[in-house]
Structure 1
Amino acid sequence: MIKEILKKVIKTEFRIKIRRNIFELKGLLHKGNKFYCICCNQSFNKFLSFGNEKREDAQCPSCGSLERTRLLNYYLINETDIFFDNKSILHFAPESMLSKSLKKSSNKYLSVDIQKGYADKIEDIQNLTFEDCAYDYIICSCVLGHIPDEKKAIDELYRVLKIGAKAYILTVINLNVYETLEDSSAISDEQRLKLFGEKDLLRLHGTDFIERLKRSKVSVKQIDYSLNFSLHDRRRFSFGNKERELIFEIEKIKQD
């Protein structure tokens, strides 16, 4: 209840700034050498637990990055040219430290979110205002599970992606089932929390997620980038359990 009151009386931008300052203080308390965060380039004696069902050592105590963001950041640095040549980048629901790095690398970077105060611009992923073939890169991490019309959102992502350009999409996946779980009767926070594991999820993707991404105009590749690291490094960097960290690389291909 206190959190809801604070949301109403304190502007989003100010709440985000307060949260970042709190994290910086936590980071000072947890300095050490057991864990390393690629997003803020600092080492700690522990990462913080996070999630409705608490995941141990999930969140960086200084920058607040989660497992999926750290792994994606490693991938983008090592496997792409996104940080070079002033690429046009569209970033949905931006993770703060990744957003900060990308913004430094390109003056054609734009972050977007459905809510005011969380990004550079308000946009509805289901009905984007951008021209066709506008962006070299798109980053969309853990967004599609929250969108009412997922198919339309995916089509919009592909519409604004340039020919030969790439999008990186991540989502929460139940790796034990194939078919994505959806239930339109789950309308309350409590129902969605019980069914999907998060109160604002509208679906819990299964391993069929790659099929849901496929279209005639794109190629889709599933990447488990954690396999490029030793077990020791996976633990030290805290790359998660693959339920949120599989990267789906989409490349828009030229139509005949």
Structure 2
Amino acid sequence: MLKRIYQQLFPEKRRINNRLLWNRLTSVFYLGKTYHCNCCNNSFRIFKSKGNTLTKRKNAECPYCGSLERTRNLLLYIENETCILTGKVRLLHFAPEWALVPVLKKAEKLEYITADLNPNLADYPMDITNIPFPDESFDYIICMHVLGHVPDEKKAVDELFRVLKSDGVALIATIIDRENPHTFETEDADTPEKRLSYYSEPDLLRLHGTDFDQRLMKSGFRVEVIDYPSQSGEKIKQKYSLGDGKRELIFKCTKD
């Protein structure tokens, strides 16, 4: 009841800003030196837990900026392995992570475009299966944990391939069931409760297996699977709390 009244009183953008402000005010109770968030440059004794009853993850969410394991991992990769923050490049970012947006917007040479179906969550309302840009428009694309929610995944990946420049890079991620060689999806998962049971998330339309790179290749991409937390070493992995590998694998997609 109270939640519904709150939603009626405040528009979505205001509610988002209120949540961010609340996080910043209450983050002082988490301060310490055990973990570090590279997105907001703050250190804490613990991070917040995240997930539902089936996928609860400890030390997952930064108390200040809300970054998750995959967000911190992606920023480490961007800083160390790309020219996104330093080069004169054009970046399209789908479903932008709130903790990452301020960092990217500070990059002086970067032309940065954020997109989401929900106009309150990005600069441009955009359907990933119908991207309103010409062929080969972007040097980089970031698409993290989006494709598992798109009904026509193949069409979405085709569009990403189309608007990426021939020498560009798309950084894609999704939840991976590393024990399953095949992506699992069933028409029976037609309610949030059933999707939670089948996929461990109430809003997923499929649970990707280790064949996810092959699904991307069908649209023409050359794909490199990068386990950056493992490459960074155990010390870095623990310091930034970079997760267990189910959500943090980066699929680096390029055009031939």
Q: Same fold (TM over 0.5)?
A: yes
CA distances 1:191-237 after superposition (whole Å, capped 9, x unpaired):
11111111110000001101101047431100001122332321221
Aligned pair partner of 2:140 in 137, 140, 146:
137
- The partner residue of 1:93 within 71, 92, 95 is 95
Q: Distance in 2 between matches of 1:79 and 1:142?
A: 20
1:60 maps onto 2:54 in alignment: no
TM norm structure 1: 0.95
The DSSP-based 3-state class of the residue aligned with 1:248 is strand
**Gaps (5+ residues) in structure 1?**
none
Structure 1 residue 56, shift from structure 2 partner: 0.4
Pairing of 1:37-186 with structure 2 (within 5 A):
37-52=37-52, 53-105=55-107, 106=109, 108-186=111-189
| 1:12 and 1:116 in contact (8 A); partners too | no
Give the counterpart letter for 1:73 in structure 2: L
Structure 2 letter corresponding to 1:24: R
* Residue in structure 2 matched with residue 196 of structure 1 by the alignment: 199
Q: 1:239 offset after TM fit, Å?
A: 0.4
What SS does the corresponding residue of 1:14 show, helix, strand or coil? helix
User: What amino acid maps onto 1:111 in structure 2?
Assistant: T
Q: Which residues in structure 2 correspond to 1:12-27 (within 5 Å)?
A: 12-27=12-27
Percent identity of equivalent pairs: 45
Q: Against the structure 1 CA distance between its residues 61 and 227, is the aligned structure 2 distance closer, same or farther, given a 3 Å change threshold?
A: same
Indicate the larger mover: 214-223 or 92-101.
214-223
Q: Is the 8 A contact 2:151 2:205 kept in 1?
A: yes
Partners of 1:221 and 1:7 in 2: how far apart? 42
Letter aligned with residue 79 of structure 2? I
TM-superposed deviation, 1:3: 3.9
Give the superposed CA RMSD.
Answer: 1.4
Q: Structure 1 residues 168 and 107 mapped into 2: Cα distance closer, same or farther (>3 Å)?
A: closer
Equivalent position amino acid for 1:75 in 2: Y
Deviation at 1:86, TM superposition (A): 2.8
Change (3 A) 1:249 1:3: farther
Aligned residues: 253
CA-CA distance at 1:2 after TM superposition: 4.5
Q: 1:170 to 1:12 in 2, by over 3 A?
A: same
SS at match of 1:250: strand
1:201/1:5 CA distance change after superposition, 3 Å = farther
Secondary structure, in 3 states, of the residue corresponding to 2:225? strand
